[in-house]
């Protein structure tokens, strides 16, 4: 449908191949795993013998909360059927499915952004304001890094799922 195109730049051809799509999904899983294990690494390090912070600072539930929210947001965003978002399709606009999808998607994005903001909040309030130095500070930095990686992973997953739609559309014709 070239006349319905919105953007000036068209998608490159290689992005519609099935190989690029599955590579995208694999790398989304790898990125999410990296995020999760950065956070686990911070928690394990905080309770190991290497953590020598003088007033002892440990990872507790507060540090995990942003990651939980980010992961929840990612789950919501990527569970939504993307084709229901456009109200152009006649059969789905009747019951307000597109509207519902947009509300749920907004909740998902809000949760994802809230997780990112929460990570920065934990970094500032728990680590920077009390004036901790580097090896202790790395726990807060890894919190922000983990949330950023969850965001990146959900972007990659979103893009590769949209690729899939184009791909199956071409196949169906």
Partner 1 sequence: MTAGLKTIISLSFVLAIGFLLVILSCALFKQYLPLLVVATYVLAPLPNWVCGRCANPDDFVESSSNAVVDFGRFCTGFLVLMGVALPALLAHSEIIRWAAALMSITGGVLIYGTIIAFGMFFQEESEF
Distance of alpha carbon 136 from alpha carbon 148, whole angstroms? 20
| Shortest spacing between CB 52 and partner 1, in angstroms | 12
135 vs 30, 45, 51, 139, 147, CA distance in Å? 26, 10, 8, 8, 19
Among 17, 22, 60, 86, contact with partner 1 (rule: CB under 8 A) = 22
- Rounded Cα gap, residues 84 and 118, in angstroms: 30
Per DSSP, the residues of 45-73 read: HHTSTT---SS-----HHHHHHHHHHHHH
Closest distance to partner 1 from the beta carbon of 161 (Å): 7
Based on the shown chain and the rule CB under 8 A, indicate whether residue 76 belongs to the binding site for partner 1. no
How many residues touch partner 1 (CB under 8 A)?
Answer: 28
Residue number, 8 or 91, with CB nearest to partner 1: 91
Query: Cα(20)–Cα(29) distance, rounded to whole angstroms?
Result: 14
What does the alpha-carbon distance between residue 22 and residue 16 come to, in Å, rounded to a whole number?
Answer: 11
Q: Is 19 in the site for partner 1 (CB under 8 A)?
A: no
Tokens describing residue 19: 């190989």
125-164 residues in contact with partner 1 (CB under 8 A) are: 157, 161, 164
Choose the binding region for partner 1 from 32-40, 52-60, 100-108, 115-123 (rule: CB under 8 A).
32-40
Selected binder of partner 1 within 5, 128, 165, 166 (CB under 8 A): 165
Contact positions vs partner 1 (CB under 8 A): 22, 25-30, 32-34, 36-37, 40-41, 44-45, 48-50, 81, 83, 157, 161, 164-165, 168, 171-172
């Amino acid at each position: 449908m070239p006349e319905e195109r919105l953007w000036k730049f068209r998608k490159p051809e290689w992005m519609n191949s099935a190989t690029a799509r599955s590579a995208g999904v694999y790398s989304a899983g790898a990125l999410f795993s990296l995020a999760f294990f950065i956070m686990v690494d911070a928690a394990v390090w905080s309770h190991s013998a290497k953590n020598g912070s003088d007033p002892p600072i440990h990872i507790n539930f507060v540090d995990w909360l942003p990651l939980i929210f980010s992961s929840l947001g990612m789950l919501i965003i990527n569970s939504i059927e993307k084709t229901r978002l456009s109200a152009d399709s006649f059969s789905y606009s009747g019951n307000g499915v597109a509207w519902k999808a947009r509300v749920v998607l907004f909740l998902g994005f809000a949760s994802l952004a809230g997780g990112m903001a929460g990570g920065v909040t934990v970094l500032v309030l728990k680590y920077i304001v009390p004036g901790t130095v580097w090896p202790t500070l790395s726990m807060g930095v890894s919190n922000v890094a983990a949330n950023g990686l969850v965001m990146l992973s959900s972007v990659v997953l979103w893009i590769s799922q949209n690729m899939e739609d184009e791909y199956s559309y071409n196949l169906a014709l």
